[in-house]
Amino acid sequence: MQWLLAEGLFRSGLYVHVKGLQRKRAMLMFHSILPERNLELHLRNNSIAELTRTVHILKRMGSIVSVKQWMEASEPNQFAITFDDGLLNNLNYAAPALAKLHVPASYYINTSYVAGNAFVWPEKLSLMTRDHKGTLHARGQYYIGHAHNRWHNRDTGSTMVSDWMSLSMEDIEHALNEIEIQCGGMELLEAHRVMKGEEIKILSAMPGVTIGSHGVDHRDMTTLSEADLRDTLLTSKTYLEQCAGQKVDELAFPFGATNAFVCDIARKQGYTHLIGVNAEKASPQIAMRYGIYNHLPISIQLKSMLSE
Ligand SMILES: [Zn+2]
């Protein structure tokens, strides 16, 4: 019988039973790992302690294996850990913490540095807007601030990120400039930028690390022209392989957005392991991940993941 150690009961040594746990398998998706919790910036950051706690809980339930092992073996009670976006804090905090725990992980890196952008645009937007009060306007739309620094379109209710995810990089940069003017004096924190080539190289040499692609500019791949899609997949793969000195054949789709055409082109370009998020349950060829965020205790998120 398998048991899940609930976070609230961790210290008291009591256990909580989770129904049907015996056959569970899951792949987890993290983004940003920081020394301390930061609930204001966005949902996508967790502390080193939360990452460590996740590992301890998963190890009690089974084993943590690489993404390739997870996708190829189908063993019960296996888990895999991944990180999206390729932020510098993955190298500084996540990888050292996992190395100590002897846990493998895949890092899906946005190679926007090669295109001259130190920050992946959703992260930059969060950093710019984190202390702003009131409304924001961009591209002729008005946005109202909500919890976790989310900005919702006053008229449609959609978020600013979802309104922008199919725009060209030129349009996104123009919109970011509009936001920057309204949020003046903002500071872009170093730990939130994407890794440079030499940093990717250091990360790739750490034990248990697999480098994968997350595209070049964090746009929704289903909205790109075929030429742009081929270009982003190839540019990112070539750059990462040069930096890491290892074959790069895992691809995590930005926003988890994909379709049969994107998968077909990705496979033809040598991506053998395609990684999505919760939304693409329909496709058997894409590994599904469960996103870990900071709005709930880790044990509650894992319990909900395992009961799905
Ligand atoms: Zn991403």
pLDDT exceeds 70 at position 75? yes
Q: How many angstroms does the Cα of residue 248 sit away from the middle of ligand 1?
A: 17
pLDDT exceeds 80 at position 98? yes
What burial class does residue 146 get, using C-beta atoms within 10 Å of its C-beta: 0-12 exposed, 13-18 middle, 19+ buried?
exposed
Model-level pTM? 0.91
Q: How many angstroms does the Cα of residue 142 sit away from the middle of ligand 1?
A: 24
Q: What is the mean pLDDT of residues 127-131?
A: 93
Are 111 and 127 in the same domain?
Answer: no
Q: How many angstroms does the Cα of residue 205 sit away from the middle of ligand 1?
A: 23
Domain boundary pick from 182, 205, 222:
182
Are 226 and 282 in the same domain?
Answer: yes
Q: How many angstroms does the Cα of residue 255 sit away from the middle of ligand 1?
A: 6
pLDDT exceeds 90 at position 298? yes
Model confidence pLDDT, tens digit, residues 104-120: 999 999 999 888 899 99
Q: How many angstroms does the Cα of residue 252 sit away from the middle of ligand 1?
A: 8
Considering its fold, how many domains does the chain have in total?
Answer: 2
Are 199 and 90 in the same domain?
Answer: yes
Q: How many angstroms does the Cα of residue 13 sit away from the middle of ligand 1?
A: 36
Are 233 and 94 in the same domain?
Answer: yes
Model confidence pLDDT, tens digit, residues 188-230: 999 999 999 999 999 999 999 999 999 999 999 999 999 999 9
Q: How many angstroms does the Cα of residue 192 sit away from the middle of ligand 1?
A: 13
Domain boundary pick from 160, 182, 204:
182
CATH number at residue 223: 3.20.20.370
C-alpha span between 270 and 25 (Å, rounded): 26
Mean pLDDT of the chain: 89
Are 58 and 138 in the same domain?
Answer: no
Are 274 and 212 in the same domain?
Answer: yes
Q: How many angstroms does the Cα of residue 271 sit away from the middle of ligand 1?
A: 17
Quick one: DSSP state of residue 86? Answer: -
Q: How many angstroms does the Cα of residue 293 sit away from the middle of ligand 1?
A: 13
Model confidence pLDDT, tens digit, residues 219-276: 999 999 999 999 999 999 999 999 999 999 999 999 999 999 999 999 999 999 999 9
Q: What is the pLDDT of residue 205?
A: 97
Residue 138: domain span: 121-182
CA distances from 27 to 97, 105, 224, 293, 301 (A): 18, 10, 27, 14, 13
Q: How many angstroms does the Cα of residue 161 sit away from the middle of ligand 1?
A: 11
Q: How many angstroms does the Cα of residue 117 sit away from the middle of ligand 1?
A: 15
Q: What is the pLDDT of residue 135?
A: 96
Q: How many angstroms does the Cα of residue 32 sit away from the middle of ligand 1?
A: 10
Q: How many angstroms does the Cα of residue 60 sit away from the middle of ligand 1?
A: 29
C-alpha span between 305 and 296 (Å, rounded): 12
Q: What is the pLDDT of residue 13?
A: 27
Q: How many angstroms does the Cα of residue 87 sit away from the middle of ligand 1?
A: 10
Token pair 């979802």 is found at: 162
pLDDT exceeds 80 at position 132? yes
Are 60 and 201 in the same domain?
Answer: yes
Are 132 and 159 in the same domain?
Answer: yes
Q: How many angstroms does the Cα of residue 306 sit away from the middle of ligand 1?
A: 23
Q: How many angstroms does the Cα of residue 184 sit away from the middle of ligand 1?
A: 25
Do residues 242 and 265 make contact, with C-beta atoms less than 8 angstroms apart? no
Q: How many angstroms does the Cα of residue 254 sit away from the middle of ligand 1?
A: 5
Is there a domain that residue 243 lies in? yes
Are 65 and 204 in the same domain?
Answer: yes
Please tell me which residue, 115 or 29, carries the higher pLDDT value.
29
pLDDT bracket for residue 40 (50, 70, 90): confident
Is there a domain that residue 19 lies in? no
Q: How many angstroms does the Cα of residue 130 sit away from the middle of ligand 1?
A: 19
Q: How many angstroms does the Cα of residue 138 sit away from the middle of ligand 1?
A: 22
Strands 150-153 and 141-146: antiparallel
The helix/strand/coil state of 79 is strand
Do residues 241 and 251 make contact, with C-beta atoms less than 8 angstroms apart? no
C-alpha span between 127 and 188 (Å, rounded): 6
